[in-house]
């Protein structure tokens, strides 16, 4: 088994000798049959590194977790030893490290690998090098971690958020414990505290270290999840393992299937596979699936054996650690997979959520909430189970329990209840996760009576072993379970309407920041409706840039995600209600939103503040605001512009003042100087003064 030792150091100008000494220390300690990579975050242009193949140089703005993750992904070794690298001080290293002890330390970690075949039983037996490091911040935090490369990438490596950069090792070990992968912690007889050899890391053993340790422990406790970097990950896509399988059983639903598949491909989490099992379709289902060019889609055709057999066939072909059930006529909301994975923790192995029904003809939406706390109590109360297409659960659980092939309906209800009886613990994500299409071909429409009777029988079986009093207590507890309180029924179209089928809505997209670059990456220049900007004239700093793209289809949403573009928001209008344009492509709506933001900025510092908006463009020299004293009435100057259609343009100058009366002299001076401007709007505590001024005209001043 090949082992790769990886560490990371941060250094700047004048630290060359410290880098070289640290490399010598490691190379003397690492056995000859181990690979070694030292990542270097360079904080200056003058650093000269020794010419060694062991170095992997990163720019200083790369986050610590991302650097470790890239180096781990580049490794072709079976096992990783991750060392918590120091911030190198200037000058020479003091003290030394006996090569014998160093080799013994690293080799002993390598010997403690449990060589089991594959997940879900991990390859790794994590070694945490710890002890009484009271002189530095490594107390109660591992100095080194031994982990298989497969397991490290399965957990998606170190958290790349900057808030956890100082607690990466502690956090990773905590996540492995939540996943059930750590069954012991080894305390080595001869420990090597590499960081202690570097005087720049030494801290007082009392309050300073204690505060740092408490802060790091709190950082780890705040987020109890297992998986990180779900939407943005530094690891190259080709190195990322498949974490989720999305099985789709289908028969004669070709007209719905394409949008169902596209909704999966448009997910913000992308490390999935789709397994489509065609249960003897007579329509063009094969052509629909094969018409989508994505290697993550597997198509399997079988003779018609029923939906349960098709789902079991898909489960047997799945390779993802988790299964996210999906139906061939439903639409998966873009955050469905990432939300379900993020909700997994040490107490729950499966997740679920709520959903919204939509009428396939009228686009009418209806919210369906599920209680928080699915388990035997809820089953005893009313037999309710989570919506099938909201599930994320271990694939092995589906493969072992299997769908009951003697049933033709309510098979999901049956499996969910049996999973609870098998000990699976479910957690509510508190979000809407998919749109359920209501149409005449649904099983609930064609086989509703049998579906209800199957559900009743399954519910009875789940509580059969309990006494009458026990069933009554369970039902009472189930009745007391709450529903998500923050999900609203009055904003359904605004929140989810943009993800309805193309034929039901007109859809637009809003892109924030680096609009030109993103438009080229998405190849949507022919659909660009506007580019808008908001510039602070006092600092010459752009505050916002946005692009509006119209006529967006589901194919486009997939392409946008494939291009790696995140943060795109979608808006829609029903095709039967085209009396309004989507806000994202309405230049006046964009300006109105930015004006509202500017007014809030002014009022945050000056509660009676107001805005004066002129159609002038750019700076106005007559304002003479450079070096203005603190009491000057103008507290904000912005230039906002929107380019739209072929030659359309809206441009305004926005002046923020402390009080509405302060805008009068500015307006008077603009008129006297003949500045080509027009009062568009005045917002603030009162507008009557300006309305009367406009009516009187400049002669009245």
Q: What three-state secondary structure class fits 98?
A: coil
Give residue-wise pLDDT tens across range 62-73: 999 999 999 999
**DSSP secondary structure letter of residue 162:** G
The answer to whether 397 and 495 have CB atoms below 8 angstroms apart is: no
| Whether residue 218 has pLDDT greater than 70 | yes
Edge-to-edge strand list for the sheet holding 541-549: 569-574, 505-512, 541-549, 528-536, 634-644, 648-657, 610-614, 679-683
Report, as an integer, the average pLDDT of 330-334.
Answer: 97
Q: For position 182, what pLDDT does the model report?
A: 62
SS (H, E, C) 36-97: EEEEEEECCCCCCCCCCCCEEEEECCCCHHHHHHHHHHHCCCCEEEEECCCECCCCCCCCCC
Are residues 91 and 18 in contact, defined by beta-carbon separation less than 8 angstroms? Answer: yes
190 band by pLDDT with thresholds 50, 70 and 90? very low
CA–CA separation, 138 vs 200, rounded Å?
Answer: 14
Lowest pLDDT segment from 405-409, 455-459, 574-578: 455-459
- Which of 40-49, 131-140, 619-628 comes out lowest in average pLDDT? 131-140
Q: In the predicted model, what is the mean pLDDT of residues 96-120?
A: 40
What gap in Å lies between CA 466 and CA 478, rounded to an integer?
A: 15
Rounded CA-CA distance 243/221 in Å is 24
Cβ-contact 590, 532 below 8 angstroms? yes
> 96 pLDDT exceeds 60?
no
Tell which wins on pLDDT, 320 or 519: 320
Does 222 have pLDDT greater than 80? yes
Q: Is the pLDDT of residue 101 over 90?
A: no
Q: What is the DSSP string of 411-474?
A: HHHHHHHHHHHTT--EEEEEEEEEEEEE-TTSHHHHSHHHHHHHHHHHHHHHHTTS-HHHHHHH
| pLDDT interval class at 648 (50, 70, 90) | confident
**Is 610 in a helix, a strand, or coil?**
strand
- For residue 595, what pLDDT band results from cuts at 50, 70 and 90? confident
C-alpha to C-alpha distance for 127 and 319, rounded to whole angstroms: 28
Strand partners, 40: 9, 57
Find out whether the peptide bond into 558 is cis, omega within 30 degrees of 0.
no
pLDDT, position 523? 81
Q: Within 13 Å, how many C-alpha atoms sit on residue 90's CB side?
A: 5
Pairing of strands 55-59, 79-83: unpaired
Say whether pLDDT at 646 is over 80: no
With contact defined as beta carbons under 8 Å apart, do 331 and 500 qualify? yes
Kindly list the structural domains of the chain, giving each domain's residue range(s) and its CATH number in brackets, ordered by start.
3-222 (3.90.550), 242-492 (3.90.550.10), 502-584 (3.30.70), 586-701 (3.30.70)
**Dihedral, CA of residue 368, residue 369, residue 371 and residue 374, to nearest 10:** 60
**326 pLDDT above the threshold of 70:** yes
* Farthest CA pair distance, the chain: 94
pLDDT of amino acid 118: 34
For residues 75 and 641, which has the higher predicted lDDT (pLDDT)?
Answer: 75
User: What integer pLDDT is reported at residue 470 of this predicted model?
Assistant: 67
Q: What is the pLDDT of residues 477-516, one digit of tens each?
A: 777 787 888 888 889 999 999 999 999 999 999 888 888 8
C-alpha span between 413 and 400 (Å, rounded): 16
Which helix (H) or strand (E) segment holds residue 477: the answer is: helix 468-479
Q: Are 513 and 416 in contact (CB under 8 A)?
A: no
Lookup: tokens for 130: 């710890």
Q: Which H helix or E strand runs over 595?
A: helix 587-605
Q: Is the pLDDT of residue 89 over 70?
A: no
Q: Who contacts 697 (Cβ-Cβ below 8 Å, separation ≥6)?
A: none
| Band of residue 535 on the pLDDT scale cut at 50, 70, 90 | confident
Position with higher pLDDT, 693 vs 519: 519
Q: Would you place residue 467 in the very low, low, confident or very high pLDDT band (cuts 50, 70, 90)? A: low
Q: Is the pLDDT of residue 104 over 80?
A: no
- pLDDT at residue 451 above 90? no
Between 581 and 657, the more confident residue is 657
Where is pLDDT greater, at 414 or 177? 414
454/144: higher pLDDT: 144
Q: Is the pLDDT of residue 90 over 50?
A: no
pLDDT above 70 as % of the chain: 71
Distances (CA, A) of 83 to 58, 114, 436: 17, 20, 48
Mean pLDDT of the chain, nearest integer: 77
For residues 67 and 61, give the distance between their C-alpha atoms in angstroms, rounded to a whole number: 10
Q: How many CB atoms lie within 10 A of CB 434?
A: 26
Of 112 and 598, more confident: 598
- Residue pair 464/298 in contact (Cβ under 8 Å)? The answer is no
CA distance readout (Å), 138 to 195, 210, 224, 427: 9, 11, 21, 34
Task: Render pLDDT for 347-376 as a digit per residue (tens, 0 to 9).
Answer: 999 999 999 999 998 999 999 998 888 878
Give the pLDDT mean for 201-226: 66
The model's pTM is: 0.79
pLDDT band at 51 (very low <50, low <70, confident <90, very high): low
Q: What are the start-end ranges of the H helices in 179-306?
A: 207-222, 254-265, 285-290
Q: Which of 79, 246, 70, 60 is nearest to 158 (CA)?
A: 70
The H helix count followed by the E strand count for the chain is 22, 22
| pLDDT score of 284 | 95
């Amino acid at each position: 088994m090949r082992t790769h030792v990886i560490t990371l150091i941060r250094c700047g100008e004048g630290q060359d000798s410290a880098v070289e000494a640290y490399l010598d220390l490691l190379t003397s300690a690492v056995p000859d049959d181990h690979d070694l990579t030292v990542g270097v975050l360079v904080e200056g242009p003058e650093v000269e590194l020794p010419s060694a193949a062991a170095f992997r140089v990163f720019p200083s703005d790369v986050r610590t977790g991302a650097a470790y993750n890239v180096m781990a992904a580049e490794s072709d070794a079976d096992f990783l030893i991750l060392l918590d690298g120091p911030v190198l001080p200037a000058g020479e290293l003091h003290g030394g490290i006996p090569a014998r002890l160093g080799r013994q330390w690293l080799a002993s970690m390598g010997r403690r690998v449990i060589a089991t075949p594959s997940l879900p039983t991990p390859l790794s037996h994590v070694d945490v090098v710890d002890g009484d490091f009271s002189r530095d911040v490594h107390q109660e935090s591992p100095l080194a971690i031994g982990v298989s490369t497969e397991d490290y990438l399965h957990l998606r490596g170190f958290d790349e958020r900057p808030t956890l950069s100082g607690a990466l090792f502690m956090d990773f070990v905590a996540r492995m414990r939540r996943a059930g992968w750590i069954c012991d912690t080894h305390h080595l007889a001869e420990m090597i505290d590499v960081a202690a050899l570097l005087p720049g890391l030494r801290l007082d053993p009392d309050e300073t270290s204690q505060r740092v340790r408490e802060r790091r422990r709190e950082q780890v406790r705040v987020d109890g999840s297992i998986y990180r970097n779900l939407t943005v990950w530094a690891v190259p896509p080709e190195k990322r393992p498949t974490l989720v399988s999305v099985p789709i059983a289908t028969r004669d639903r070709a007209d719905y299937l394409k949008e169902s598949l596209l909704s999966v491909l448009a997910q913000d989490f992308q490390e999935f596979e789709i397994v489509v099992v065609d249960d003897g379709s007579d329509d063009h289902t094969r052509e629909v699936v094969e018409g989508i060019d994505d290697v993550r889609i597997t198509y399997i055709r079988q003779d018609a054996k029923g939906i349960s057999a098709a789902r079991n066939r898909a489960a047997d072909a799945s390779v993802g650690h988790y299964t996210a059930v999906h139906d061939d006529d439903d639409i998966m909301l873009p955050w469905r997979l990432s939300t379900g994975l993020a909700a997994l923790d040490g107490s729950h192995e499966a997740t679920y959520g709520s959903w919204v029904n939509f009428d396939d003809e009228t686009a009418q939406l209806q919210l369906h909430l599920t209680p928080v706390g699915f388990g035997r109590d809820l089953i005893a109360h009313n037999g309710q189970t989570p919506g099938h297409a909201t599930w994320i659960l271990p694939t092995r659980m589906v493969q072992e329990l299997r769908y009951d092939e003697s049933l033709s309906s309510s098979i999901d209800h049956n499996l969910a209840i049996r999973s609870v009886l098998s000990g699976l613990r479910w957690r509510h994500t508190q979000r809407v996760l998919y749109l359920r299409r209501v149409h005449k071909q649904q099983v609930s429409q064609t086989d509703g009576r049998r579906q209800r009777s199957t559900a009743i029988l399954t519910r009875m079986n789940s509580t059969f072993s309990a006494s009458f009093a026990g069933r009554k207590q369970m039902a009472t507890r189930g009745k007391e379970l709450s529903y998500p309180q923050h999900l609203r029924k009055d904003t359904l179209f605004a929140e989810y309407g943009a993800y309805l089928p193309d034929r039901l809505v007109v859809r637009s997209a809003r892109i924030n920041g680096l609009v030109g670059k993103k438009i080229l990456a998405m190849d949507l220049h022919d659909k660009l409706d506007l580019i808008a900007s908001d510039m602070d004239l006092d600092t010459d700093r752009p505050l916002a840039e946005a692009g509006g793209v119209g006529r967006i289809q589901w194919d486009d949403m997939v392409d946008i995600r494939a291009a790696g573009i995140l943060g795109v928001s979608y808006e829609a209008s029903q095709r039967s209600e085209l009396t309004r344009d989507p806000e994202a492509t309405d230049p006046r709506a964009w300006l109105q939103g930015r004006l509202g933001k500017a007014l809030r900025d002014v009022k945050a510092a000056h509660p009676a503040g107001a805005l004066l908006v002129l159609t002038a463009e750019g700076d106005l020299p007559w304002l003479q605001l450079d070096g203005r004293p603190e009491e000057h009435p103008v507290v904000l100057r912005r230039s906002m512009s929107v380019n739209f259609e072929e030659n359309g343009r809206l441009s305004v100058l926005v002046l923020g003042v402390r009080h509405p009366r302060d805008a009068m002299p500015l307006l008077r001076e603009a008129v006297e100087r003949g500045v080509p401007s027009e009062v568009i709007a005045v917002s603030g505590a009162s507008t009557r003064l300006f309305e009367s001024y406009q009516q009187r005209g400049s002669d009245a001043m």
